Amino acid sequence: MKKEKKAQILGLPFSMIFSIILIVFFIIIAIVAIFIFWNPSKDKCTISDEIQEGIFKQDLQDAVNDAWDSDRSERNFSISLPGKIDYVCFLDTSRRESGKYRNFYENLTVYKRDENGNLFFYPVKSACEDFRGIEIQHINITAITSRDNPYCIPNKKASLTIEKGFYEGLVRIK
């Protein structure tokens, strides 16, 4: 007569069954993590969206700072944002709406997070919460929005121009 081993279930050693359970658990966790990181929903802000918006804000601020520190500057800046953002808008909240994108004005001011916010993504609800109405320092918001307030650049255009004249103290964006 064969003697049965105590640590077996269904003829498999307990350590083998425990290993299979762990493997299944890790596969489920990996699938959940992928869905959290790459969420296809248009309403929610994914980690990838937040990273893209953060990098855009920091790169734009760095480019503006470089132009502001120089005597004279003119450079192109490429826009790289999530596809659900249609426009990058500069807004002067101390002035009334005007121009081509005047119907964006009320939407942008409702979601303004910071008192000095002058950069918005449109549609505002598509932007991550931390990037709704952020401040870009050293820009001449009055000159930028002189004709159109807000001044919006389509995300599909893929670039904007950063300029500073020799006798100007602040940077303009076109």
The pLDDT value recorded for residue 6 is: 58
The reported pTM is: 0.74
Rounded percentage of the chain residues whose pLDDT exceeds 90: 53
For residue range 50-79, what is the model confidence (pLDDT) as tens digits?
Answer: 899 999 999 999 999 999 999 999 999 998
CB-CB contact of 150 with 89 (8 Å): yes
The pLDDT value recorded for residue 158 is: 73
CB-CB contact of 161 with 153 (8 Å): no
Query: Nearest Cα to 93, choosing from 108, 79, 103, 81?
Result: 108
The Cα-based distances of 72 to 62, 64, 132, 164 in angstroms read: 16, 12, 30, 5
Helix (H, G, I), strand (E, B) or coil at 103: helix
For residue range 152-173, what is the model confidence (pLDDT) as tens digits?
Answer: 999 887 789 999 999 999 999 9
What are the residue boundaries of the structural domains of the chain, listed by start? Answer: 8-37, 47-173
